[in-house]
Every structure is written in structure tokens, then in C-alpha cells.
Chains A and B, each alone.
Chain A
Amino acid sequence: MKTLLEMSGVSVSFDGFKAINNLSFRIGEPELRAIIGPNGAGKTTFMDIITGKTRPDSGTVVYGEKSISLLKMSESEIATVGVGRKFQKPTVFEAQTVRENLAMALKNKRGPFDVLLYRKTQAGARRIGELAETIGLTDALPRIAGELSHGQKQWLEIGMLLAQDPRLLLVDEPAAGMTPAEREHTTDLLKRAAQKHAVVVVEHDMEFIRRLDCRVTVLCEGSVLAEGSLDHVTSNPEVIEVYLGR
């Protein structure tokens, strides 16, 4: 398993508050990794740093075979080298149809003139069809995304993530607002994606994490508290302390 992303010694503070404190983290490809931690542990900030939304005060983030630094790249450049993100709250384009949402996310050239001269292709339509089937929204393709239920928006967002065909998938609370059956489906999807790619899942739901059956990283106050199998980390006294001590 090659290392795809490596963060080392990353710190970031907002107005004196240390959101991330000397955090080091690595993930290989393929790998599935779950991240848990109490509220304010820095889970979302961790994703913000990788995707280029937040610039750390110190530390390095290197990605890929060529070990390129993500810190000098813009959000859009980071996305085009293969880092995809699903947000905690589903953020789909509510004024556009499900098909348009998926088409926008589909892996293609991203320059303005490429997009202006873009012509729909058979392959693209087929890919959108496949994705819609995977996320169970085939009938909803012509519908406006704003009309979808919360769970369906979650699915659409997952579909948009898959459409980008990223190498590193950052998935923030995928199971929120889903029925048990949908959660199971989500688990399958993530596991399948993790057979080829690197998948990082942030989740609160322990049952969901257990089903993912993967290595778990516990974040607390901006740094890694424990790492290992779920049973290993949940038997760690420090982890019990932060979860139960609050």
C-alpha cells in the first residue's frame, strides 16, 4: 500500500484557539479510514486543510507519487489532482436538476473555454446513468435538486463525489439523515470505493463505523489521540476519558 497523503506537524489556530495542534496523519491507496472525535476535535478543519480551504500556520501536506505540496495550491487545483469532498450538510446546487448536478461534477476538463465548448457525449450520459443507478436517483434525474428530500440530497452529493472520480475521498458524516437500509447501502458504496482509492470518513455514529470495519483515527483537541482498530481505540482509557468525561 503506497502512501497517498501525508500530513506532518500541521498546526492551525483561529484567533489564538488551536484548532489543529501538531497533527500528523497518513493514508495509503487503497485504504478506508474512519475519523472519530468529540465535537470541536478539529475533524472539519482537518478536511478544510486538505482541500485548501484553510491554510495551516505550520506543517506540511504532501500528496501523490510526486509528493506535491497541497499547501501552495488553490481549492480548485487540489480538486483537479483528485481530492474530492462531501460536505457535512448536503450542498448540492438546488436550483439545478439532478442530471445537471452530476454532469457538473463529472470528471472532465475544468477550464472556462473547455466548458464553454463542451459537447455532451454518449460516454458522459452513460456514466451519469450508472451513477444515478448507484445512488438510486434514476427516476429523479430530471428533477430540480432543491425538491429532493434530505436523504436524497445526501445521495446526490455522494454521487457528485463519485462522478469526480477522485483518488482521495473525504466524506463528512455520510449517514446523517439516512434510514438504516440507506446506511447499509452507503457502507457498501464506501467500502467499494476503498478497494481502489483512499477514503476518509468522518462520522459520529459508532454503529456505522463498526460496519465499515476499518482502521480508526481518534482526533481530540486537534491532534491524534489514538489509532487502530475500532476495538483497540475504544478500549483505550484516554479515548474513554474524552468521550465519557464530557
Chain B
Amino acid sequence: MKPQSFLSQNRSALWFLLSLTVFALIVTVLSDAMGNGMISTSFVKTLGKTLCLMLVAIAMDVVWGYTGILSLGHMAFFGLGGYMIGMWLMYARTEIIVTESLRAAAIPPTPQEIHDSVGTQIFGVVGSSEFPAIWLFAHSFWLQIAMVVLVPGVLALVFGWLAFRSRVTGVYLSILTQAMTLALSLYLFQNEAGLRGNNGLSGLQNLPGLEDLPQATLSLAFFWASAVALGAGYVLFAWVVSGKMGSVIRGIRDNESRVRFLGYHVESYKLFVFTLTGIVAGIAGALYYPQAGIINPNEVAPIASIYLAVWVAIGGRGRLYGAALGAALVSLLSSWFTSGGAPDIPLGFYTLHWTDWWLVLLGVSFVAVTLLAPKGIGGLFDLLGHRHPVPERVGDFGPDKGARRTVEGEEER
């Protein structure tokens, strides 16, 4: 066997990286920051956010399309990543503002006074001035960056361990992940949770210490950071799902008890995939929310994770570029339709306002793709040839079955 490089064995990863680079360069050249102005700063932000959504979508594809776990919790990990970076952004920026304003005072403020004053500024909106314990590391950029990885990672690890150990599978597992997401979102809505309740964290688009930098430049920097993260994430996941690991996790998707009888500890594999994708989702969120500027508990609500599943289903499960394309296309279309970009359609007796009807269109597309084109948008690439004509997966493509089995929890005889 000839040794081959990873990229030559994974052509789609190579093409994806090339397209991503070309796209990023085009956006850069046309952006405001380069003085060209064909792409507005706000649109650069939208594109940067889209790249983050593509990253969480490929993570979702690995956990759902490859391993067969329909997780309705990955946007919760995404949101947690956003909260973690948001805590530092808010703390550090408020600290700068407070220090500025206290400098004029006759007696220089002590560090404790500054700290208390920052607390009053941040938590005044929920009628408090005390820092909750979870803000312990918020003053330190690096500690809080560690939290971006640790908090979603540990949550995914603990939740996954409990769920997989009990051998909960299929639609029951989906319900369980959704319950986790809902519980987290409801908890964050409470002021006592220490993350400003339904106000969420705001002003995240202003980077502490970089106030002089125009948003045009900042947005482009975040756009590039998102692009690099997406590229790295794509290569990471392409590596995970290729080779023997990919073989085992696809085996788990199609018949997990058979994999068990081959001697693989299925629960460890699920936990590995669930945790790794949870961490990547957290990182994607940490890049997304500074571009969005604000995060509140609504972003963590179960509906967000359901949208994520819809993107991946429309894009095509079981192939990374499909999930990435699905997320990009649907989320961009979504913002076009809901922001009033799409022209209303007068039908004479009734005018179709897309702001009202977009969700209906999305729902119909989801059902249509699931029934008529289960391979999704990614399936179009099969038409280009090269690929094996046989479907990636034989048998049931229904959305609620992770593994191929006749009765839940039973192995086929």
C-alpha cells in the first residue's frame, strides 16, 4: 500500500479548503476594510457568522449523520461557548470604562472598588451588584478561553456519559437532549443564574482595548478567524470520519449491537463523538457571538438546535460539505426572507409576506427533502460523477432512527 497524504485521500476536504480560501479572499478584497465597499461591514459580519454556523453544522453532521445520534443539544453547547467568551468581553470592556471614569476622582480607586463598580455596571440591569461565583475567571482572557472549551465539553461529557451508559437510543435520546437544552435555557432565563437573565450579555462586538479599530476591520478579522476555524474543524472532522474511526462510527449508526459483538465499546465511541462535537460547537459559538454582539437565553432554546438539524438534513447527512452548504444556504436565505429582503408576492386576494411565510416554506422544504431527496443538497455532487452510485446508507432514511433496527433497543434477528 502506498502511503498517501491525508488531503489526497480526502478530495472533498481539499476542495472545501480551496473554495473556502477563494471565498474568504474575494470577501476580503470587496470588503469595506479594504476601502472597496462592495460588501458592507454588516454583511461581512453576516458572512462571518454564517461560517460559524457551518462549523457547528459539520459537528452536527458528525454526531447525527455519521454516528446516528440525533442530538437536539448542540446549539446549547454553541450558546454556552458564546456565553463564556461574552463574560470576558463584558467584564474587560466594563473594567476599562469604569477605570476611565474613576480616574478623575481625587483619590485613586483601589482594585476592589473597580471590581465592585464593574459588578454594579454589569448586574445593575438585574438589580444586583455582586459577582456570582461563575464569573470567577471572567477577568482573565485565557482562563475564560479555557472555559469556552471546558464548559461545553464537560457538560457534553457528563450528559453523554449518563445517557449513553443507560443505552438510551434513537428518538428517546433526542428527547433527552432536547430536555437538557430546554432546562439550560430556562435556567439561564433566571436572574439568579448569574448571566443577566433574559437580558443576556450585550455589547460583545466591542473588543476591549481595540476601541480605536473600526468595526470594518474588526468584522473582517472575525470573518477570517471564523474561516480558519471552519477550515481546521473541517479537516479535523474529515480525519475523524475517515479511516477506521469513520468505519466504526458508521457501523454504530447502522447496527450498534453488531459493533458491540465485534468488541467495540459503543458507549465510549458515542461519548467521544458527542464530547468532541460539543467542544467544537462551543468554539463556533465563541466566534459567532462577538460578531452578533448579543447573546441571550433564547439562543440556547431547543428551537435553535432543531434548526441546526434542519440545516444538516437539507444539506445532506453523512457528508461534511453537505452539512456546511445546507447551513450556509438555509441560514442566509432565512435572514434574507425574514429581514424583508425577499419581495412580497401579491396574489390579489392575499399578499404573501415572506416574513410570515418563510417558516412554512422552510418546513415544507424540510419535509420534501426528507421524503424526496434524502441525500439533500450534497446529493447533487453525486451527479458530477466520480462517486460510487450506491447510497451511503442502505435502508431507512427516516429522521428519527439512529440505528437500523426493527424494535427499539432490540437487535435484528
The chain A residues found within 8 Å of chain B, CB to CB, are 44, 51, 53, 74-77, 79-80, 84-85, 87-89, 91, 93-96, 100, 103-105, 110-113, 115-116, 118, 120, 122, 125, 144, 146-147, 160, 164
Contacts and interface: CB of A to CB of B under 8 A. Distances in A.
Contacts of B250: 93, 95-96
Given A95-B254, A104-B262, A115 B390 contact: no
Nearest to B318: A95
A84 B272 CA distance: 25
Chain B binding surface, main DSSP class:
helix
B263 A94 contact: no
A96 B251 contact: yes
A80 B272 CA distance: 20
A188 B251 CA distance: 30
Interface residues of B, number: 34
Given A93-B258, A94-B395, A164-B263, A125 B1 contact: yes
A103 B392 CA distance: 18
Given A53-B257, A91-B255, A79 B263 contact: yes
B355 to A, nearest CB: 41
Contacts of A76: 260-266
A53 B411 contact: yes
Interface of B: 1, 240, 243-245, 247-248, 250-251, 254-255, 257-266, 268-269, 272, 388, 390-395, 411-413
A104 B255 contact: no
Nearest to A51: B261
Contacts of B258: 87, 91, 93
A175 B245 CA distance: 32
Contact of B394 (A118, A122, A146): A146
Nearest to B389: A144
Contacts, number: 95
B395 to A, nearest CB: 7
Contacts of B245: 112, 115-116, 118
A93 B394 CA distance: 9
Nearest to A163: B262
Contacts of A93: 247, 250-251, 254-255, 258
A77 B267 CA distance: 12
Nearest to A99: B247
Contact of A112 (B261, B269, B394, B412): B269
Contacts of B254: 93-95
Given A95-B392, A160-B262, A103 B247 contact: yes
Given A105-B262, A122-B1, A112 B388 contact: no
A88 to B, nearest CB: 6
A76 B256 CA distance: 11
Contacts of A147: 390
8 contacts: A53-B257, A91-B412, A95-B250, A95-B254, A96-B250, A103-B247, A110-B265, A122-B1
Nearest to A147: B390
Contacts of B259: 104
A115 B244 contact: yes
Given A76-B260, A112-B268, A125-B1, A89 B413 contact: yes
Given A95-B392, A96-B250, A110-B263, 16 more contacts: A53-B257, A74-B260, A75-B261, A79-B260, A79-B262, A88-B413, A91-B258, A93-B258, A111-B265, A112-B268, A115-B269, A116-B240, A116-B272, A120-B243, A144-B390, A164-B263
A173 to B, nearest CB: 11
B266 A103 contact: no
Nearest to B271: A112
Contacts of B247: 93, 96, 100, 103-104
Contact of A115 (B248, B255, B392, B395): B248
| Interface-central residue, B264, B266, B412, by most chain A CB under 10 Å | B264
A84 B250 CA distance: 21
